[in-house]
Amino acid sequence: MYTRYLSTIVITILSIAASAAGQSERISLYDFAAAYPQSMPTFVGDGNAPMLQRETIVAIDLQIDADGVVSNVLTAPTAHARLAKYIDPYLKQIKFAPAKLNDQEVSSTLPVEVLLWPGDRWPIFTFPVDSLGHLNNRRLYDHCLEQNDITQPRVTRFGSYYATPNVDTTAGSYRYVLFAIDLDATGAVLERRIVRSTYPVFDEQVLTAILWSEFAPASVKGRSIPSSLYLLVSFFGPEAYPTPVWPPNPDSTSNPLEFLRLRSFADQSGLMSLPLPQRLPSYIYPLGADPVLHRDTVSARVQIDTLGQCRFMGSEQTNSEIRSVLGRIVPKIKFFPALDFQGRAQNYSGRAVFEFTGEANVRVHCAWLR
């Protein structure tokens, strides 16, 4: 019932917002603007909803022509075949604002994610750009740019720097510095400047590290161009200082903070930082005196407010004991809240996966941190 309600809201918002799409500035990068849904009809699947045992997500690439019509729907060979068949006709009914390149409407590829929970027949669709033309999901948007041969500037190697965040901290948050870096067409640094800092005592350390680091320039259709990037350097208490060279070897570390301490963006659209659990790098949370005897892996929706407080908003089907425990344990998970590029805390809704193994702890994975 919860997912049905949520899905109806999502589709309704997209339909209403589409009428105002021309009134807001459309997100674009290097003169490329991604396609986005202008109107979404009421969902009617192809036959009965597939019988699912678990939450299922299907990644889809839509081929959209210069008129905004879906010309092809491509799913991975490993995708859930019945779910793909169930949603395929609906995707072809959606009217899109076509992509633009240099102010010309062009054919493009648009990645989409479709989520369906067991027992529900209304999928949840996630697009890179919403029906106002604004950034909706940065991970999908980055993938969309890649699919259309637009490469963003990025850090390829970042040198070591020193800090003492365990000694000098701000209650309820972590320290960070946001830099703007201008690159030439080869990736060489032309200029670097501080946009915002909550840790000024170590600004110069990182400014120096930028000069000894390596960057890849942006490119459009295979041609490298001068570009700028925003580099967010976060100072997490559990990290070792001075830091090792970034990026870490993914085969040698399971600590997500090592990857998250440096994040780069080509613009200031959307959120600068998604919510981060305060217990990172540990994903383990104690259940208290009443361990759950059942074993299950459950996906749940959570809402995190500007104070980092978390609320349980419903889950896929599971037994009553686990559902009760979810309602009890979720509010105990404390987060650093999402931040926009002005450093202001923002509300956030997302999915988390809870692994119950019959022990006194539960393992939690935040889907937005993958």
CB 202 within 8 A of CB 163: yes
What does the CA dihedral 321, 120, 17, 273 come to, rounded to 10 degrees? Answer: 40
Q: What is the pLDDT of residue 367?
A: 92
Residue 321 makes CB contacts below 8 A (sequence gap 6+) with 292, 293, 294
| 287 and 212 fall within a common domain | no
The pLDDT-based confidence of 93 (bands split at 50, 70, 90) is very high
Its domain, for residue 57, covers 2-148
Residue 357 CA: distances (Å) to CA of 87, 291, 327, 366: 33, 10, 18, 18
Q: What is the pLDDT of residue 165?
A: 83
pLDDT of residue 289 exceeding 70, the answer is no
Q: Which of 77-81, 98-102, 177-181 has the lowest mean pLDDT?
A: 77-81
Instruction: Tell me the average pLDDT across 60-70.
Output: 97
In three-state secondary structure terms, 370 is: coil
Per-residue pLDDT tens over the stretch 187-241: 999 999 999 999 999 999 999 999 999 999 999 999 999 999 999 999 988 788 8
The pLDDT-based confidence of 119 (bands split at 50, 70, 90) is confident
Angular region, 270: left φ>0, alpha ψ -120 to 50, beta rest: left
d(CA 232, CA 195): 10
| 31 and 140 fall within a common domain | yes
Q: What is the pLDDT of residue 239?
A: 81
Q: What is the pLDDT of residue 44?
A: 86
Which of the pair, 351 or 285, is modelled with greater confidence? 351
Q: What is the pLDDT of residue 48?
A: 84
| 173 and 128 fall within a common domain | no
| 111 and 219 fall within a common domain | no
| Amino acid symbol at 278 | Q
| 171 and 114 fall within a common domain | no
| Amino acid symbol at 34 | A
pLDDT of residue 290 exceeding 80, the answer is no
| 176 and 295 fall within a common domain | no
Residue where a domain terminates, one of 269, 292, 318: 269
pLDDT of residue 84 exceeding 80, the answer is yes
Per-residue pLDDT tens over the stretch 5-57: 344 334 333 433 333 333 458 999 999 999 999 988 999 888 888 888 888 99
Whose tokens are 């599971």? That residue is 318
Number of compact structural domains in the chain: 3
Residue where a domain terminates, one of 214, 240, 269: 269
Give φ, ψ of 177 to 5 degrees. Answer: -135, 130
d(CA 217, CA 185): 6
Which of the pair, 212 or 289, is modelled with greater confidence? 212
Instruction: Tell me the average pLDDT across 281-295.
Output: 76
| 252 and 343 fall within a common domain | no
The pLDDT-based confidence of 293 (bands split at 50, 70, 90) is low
pLDDT of residue 308 exceeding 90, the answer is yes
In three-state secondary structure terms, 356 is: strand
| 321 and 196 fall within a common domain | no
Q: Is the dihedral of CA 36, 143, 89, 2 positive or negative?
A: negative
| 317 and 355 fall within a common domain | yes
Give the helix/strand (H/E) hosting 204: helix 203-211
Which of the pair, 291 or 157, is modelled with greater confidence? 157
Residue 249 makes CB contacts below 8 A (sequence gap 6+) with none
Give the whole-number percent of the chain exceeding pLDDT 70.
90
Q: What is the pLDDT of residue 170?
A: 47
Q: What is the pLDDT of residue 96?
A: 97
Q: What is the pLDDT of residue 26?
A: 93
| 71 and 134 fall within a common domain | yes
| 123 and 54 fall within a common domain | yes
Residue where a domain terminates, one of 99, 129, 148: 148
| 29 and 71 fall within a common domain | yes
Residue 220 makes CB contacts below 8 A (sequence gap 6+) with 30, 31, 32, 149, 150, 151
Residue 104 makes CB contacts below 8 A (sequence gap 6+) with none
Tokens, residue 280: 């990172």
Q: Which of 44-53, 104-113, 261-270 has the lowest mean pLDDT?
A: 44-53
In three-state secondary structure terms, 44 is: coil
- pLDDT averaged over the chain? 88
